[in-house]
Amino acid sequence: MSDKPKVALYWCASCGGCEEAVVDLAERILEVAAAVDIVFWPVALDFKRKDLEALPDGALLAGFVNGAVRTSEQEDMARLIRRKSRVLVAFGACSQLGGVPGLANLWSREEVFRTVYRDAPSTVNPEGVIPEVRCRDNGHEVTLPSFFDTVLALDQVVDVDYYVPGCAPTAAITWSAIQTLLSGELPPKGSVLAPDHALCEQCPRRDSRPVDLEVAEFKRPHQVVIDEVTCLLAQGIPCMGPATRAGCEALCLAGNMPCSGCFGPTSRVRDQGGKMLSALASITAGSDESAIDRALDSLPDPVGTFYRYGLPGSLLRRQARERAGKGGA
Amino acid sequence: MSETTRTSTGLENGGWEPRVVCFFCNWCTYLAADLAGTSRMKYPANARVIRLMCSGRVDPQFVLDAFARGADGVLLGGCHPGDCHYQSGNTKALRRFQLLRRVLAGLGIDERRIRLEWISASEADKLRRVMTEMIDEVRALGPFRGGAAELRRSSPASPDAAPAAASARAEEVATP
C-alpha cells in the first residue's frame, strides 16, 4: 500500500444518501482517489472490519461517519473508527444532529417495534416475531445488535472533530471539506465545515421578504401554487431558512420548495427548532389567544417541522416519558 | 442546576421540592416581585426568578434549556396587553408561548409545566397567587422526567466519554 493518507468511510443509521453524496463528486472522485487511499468503505469496497482493526490506532488521516447511532453495533463501529482516525468527521445531518431517524425519539423502542413489526399495514408477521438480542434457532444461539431506545448523534457517542452538514451534504460542501482536510490547515475543532450564516443570506428570494410580515394561515406546499420568485414565508409557507445554516446554495428554493432545515443551526444557535419556532411565531398574525391559535392550527406538525433533522441533537433530545403513566414519580 | 442541587432537594428521600424557573420582564412582573418583597408577602421558595428587559426577550431556547437542565416548570411573566414598555414585546411573547406550548406537548411535556401570566408592577398579590398555584400544580405533577435531563441523570457516573450512549445501554439492560 502507498504512503498516501488513509481514510475510512462508514454508515450507521442512514438511508445511503450520504454515500451517494460522495459518488456525486463525479469525476472529482478520481482526484480524491489520487490523493488518499480509501481503506474501508463497506458500501463500495470489499474491506472487512478485521482489516480496519489490523491498522494501528490513529493510522487514518480521517474517518467519515454518516448516519445516527441507534444500535450497539453502530456504537462499536463508531468507537473503532474513532480510535483509528486522527480526525473524525460527522458526515451529514444524521451523524451531526440525529437526522430523520432521530424523529424516532418521539417514541419509545417498544412503540417503534410495535409499529414496524406488528401494526404497519405492510407488515406480515403472524408469529409476532420482534428482534431480540439473543435467541435460539435449531439449537444454535444467534445474536443481533441491541436497538437503543434513544437515537443518538455521533458526538453523543464519541468525540467528533468536524461536521459536514446536509441531507445529504452537497457535492460542493463535500469537496470543500475534503480539500480543507487535505490542506493540513485545519479549522478549530468542533467546526461545522460550511458557512456560518443563515440560509436567507444565500437565498435568491431574499429581497422579496417584506419587513413586516404577518401570516394568518400557514400553507403547505401542496395546497397552493407557489410563486417562483417571492420569499416563501411571505407566501405563508413555513421555510426553515431563517434558522438554518447556509451552504446548500438554496437548492430547495431553486426547486420552488421551502427549506426543511437539513444544514442544522449556525454556531450562535443551540437549538434549531427553538429558533425556528421563535421566528415563525413572531410572524404569526393575531394579538389575542384565539386568533393566534387559529393561525397556529394551520401548522399541523410543529415538532416534525422544526426538528426534522435535529431532535437527538436538540436541547431536549427526545420525547419526555411523563405521558400516560410512562413517567411519573 | 447541577446534579448536586437536585440531590440536595431530596429527590431520593421523598422530600422532593419542585423548581420553577421564572422569566420576568423588567417593567412589570419583576417589579411586582419586588413589591411582594418590600410588602413582606411570602411565596414558596421554589421559584428561581430571572429578570429580562421584556417578555419578548424570552427566546424559546431559554425555556427548552431550563427543562433540559432539570427545571420542573417554567413561568413567564410580562406586562398586560397594551402595557408593554416596548409596545408589542408581550404580543410576540404570547405568540411564541402558544407555539412553544404546542411543541412542548409534542415532546411529551405536560402543559401545566409552562405558564404565561400578565402581572403589572402593582399586582404583587397576583404574583404571589400565580406562583403559589403553579408551584402547587407542579408539585402535584412530580419531577419532570424530561428527555435530556433524564438521559443525563441515568448515567451520573460517566464523566464525559459517552453519557448518552451509556444510558442507552442502561435502558437496554432495564427493558427485557
Is B74 near chain A, with CB under 8 Å? no
In whole angstroms, what separates CA B66 from the centre of its chain? 6
C-alpha distances (whole Å) from A43 to each of A23, A48, A83, B43, B92 are 11, 11, 21, 62, 49
User: Cβ–Cβ of A323/B144 closer than 8 Å?
Assistant: no
Task: Taking the CA atoms of B150, B154, B156 and B161 in sequence, report the sign of the dihedral they define.
Answer: negative
Per-residue pLDDT at A322: 72
Contact B147 A293 (CB under 8 A): no
Element (DSSP H or E) covering residue A164: strand A162-164
Comparing CB atoms, the residue among B61, B96, B164 nearest residue A156 is B164
SS3 category, B78: strand
Q: Going along A166-262, which residue ranges are E strands?
A: none
A17's grid cell: 444518501
Question: A173 touching B, CB under 8 A?
Answer: no
Portion 7-66 of A in contact with B at CB < 8 A = none
- Does A315 lie at the interface with B, CB-CB under 8 angstroms? yes
What backbone torsions phi and psi does residue A22 show, to the nearest 5 degrees?
A: -70, -45
Q: Does A298 touch chain B (CB under 8 A)?
A: no
d(CA B8, CA B4): 6
Closest approach of A284 to chain B, Cα-based (Å)? 7
Q: Which residues of B touch A279 (CB under 8 A)?
A: none
Flag if A158 and B162 touch (Cβ within 8 Å): yes
Cell of B135: 408551584
Put simply, whether B90 touches A (Cβ < 8 Å) is: no
Interface membership of B50 toward A (CB under 8 Å)? no
Residue numbers of chain B with a pLDDT score lower than 70: 1-14, 147-176
pLDDT at A130: 92
Contacts of A329 in chain B (CB under 8 A): 16, 142-143
Asked if the C-beta of B14 comes within 8 angstroms of chain A's C-beta atoms, the answer is no
Q: Give B81's contacts in chain A (Cβ within 8 Å).
A: 287-288
Please tell me the distance in Å from A12's CA to the nearest CA on chain B: 14
Amino acid at residue number B6: R
User: Under 8 Å CB-to-CB from A16, ≥6 apart: which residues?
Assistant: A43
The pLDDT of residue B148: 61
**What is the pLDDT tens value at each position of chain A, 329 positions in all?**
578 999 999 999 999 999 999 999 999 999 998 999 999 999 999 999 999 999 999 999 999 999 999 999 999 999 999 999 999 999 999 999 999 999 999 999 999 999 999 999 999 999 999 999 999 989 999 999 999 999 999 999 999 999 999 999 999 999 999 999 999 899 999 999 999 999 999 999 999 988 889 999 999 999 999 999 999 999 999 999 999 999 999 999 999 999 999 999 999 999 999 999 999 999 999 999 999 999 999 999 999 999 999 999 999 999 997 754 443 33
Write the residue in A271, A296, A316 that is nearest to B99 by C-beta.
A296
Return the residue of A nearest to B59 by Cα: A278
Q: What is the pLDDT of residue A9?
A: 96
Cis peptide upstream of residue B66 (ω within 30 degrees of 0): no
**Helix, strand, or coil (residue B37):** helix
pLDDT for position A323 = 54
The set of cell numbers assigned to A52 is 480496519
Q: Helical H runs in A115-197? A: 171-183
Which helix H or strand E contains B60, and what residues bound it?
Answer: helix B60-68
* Measured distance CA(A264)–CA(A267) in Å, rounded: 9
B60 and A278 within 8 Å at the Cβ level: the answer is yes
* A103, A158 Cβ separation under 8 angstroms: no
**CB contact, 8 Å: A130 with chain B?**
no
A156 contacts in B (CB within 8 Å)?
A: 162-165
* Facing residue for B172 by CB, picked from A69, A146, A306: A146
**How many angstroms separate the CA atoms of A175 and A173, rounded?**
5
Nearest to B165 among A152, A274, A314 (CB): A152
Contact A302 B92 (CB under 8 A): no
